Amino acid sequence: MYLGSFWFGFLTSLTPCVYPMIPITLGIFGARGKDVNRGKALLLATAYVVGMGLTYATLGVIIALVGGQFGTLLANPYVVVPIVLLFAALAASMFGAFELNLPASWQNRLNQVGGQGFRGAFAMGMVGGLIAAPCTGPFLLGLLTFVATTRSVVGGGSLLFI
């Protein structure tokens, strides 16, 4: 499973959905063209990947703990109706019915995520994991279903980290 998880994760990284993340990732690794230290770039890349892996590992642990309820949650109208209403509101906003803005305090805090150094690369990796999650949809859903059936917290966290 670990080899399969790694292989399908690698294949997912080659999809066109991931291409918009390339400039962001290169900016984090220090590929700006000036004073590029390969050792530091490698360490920043490692921090970024560990942050992204931790995001997925957390998801794996949560699904392992939820277990069999993973599939039944989306059959519950109390879960589905709020999601549908949220998506309908977001669609109406996209069509210009109204404009959605985050509160200024949230925007300021989100603008500070990242920064420079290893903590910044780690934080951007965690955010990158959330941003890239739709790109991994089919494989991620299959892996989460497997984790939900095994209910192994260690296995779920480590499989999704890989």
The residues spanned by each domain of the chain are 2-161
Q: What per-residue confidence (pLDDT) applies to 58?
A: 93
Question: Alpha carbon 61 to chain centroid distance?
Answer: 14
Q: What per-residue confidence (pLDDT) applies to 130?
A: 80
Q: What per-residue confidence (pLDDT) applies to 35?
A: 57
pTM here is: 0.72
Give the count of beta carbons closer than 10 Å to the beta carbon of residue 54: 17
* Residues of the chain where predicted confidence (pLDDT) is lower than 70: 27-36, 68, 70-71, 110-116
Instruction: Note whether 58 and 125 are within 8 A (CB).
Output: no
Instruction: Note whether 60 and 160 are within 8 A (CB).
Output: yes
Instruction: Note whether 144 and 150 are within 8 A (CB).
Output: no
Q: What per-residue confidence (pLDDT) applies to 121?
A: 82
For 16-80, strand residue ranges (E) read none
Q: What per-residue confidence (pLDDT) applies to 25?
A: 72
* Tokens (6 digits) for 45: 């890349």
How confident is the prediction for the chain on average, in pLDDT?
82
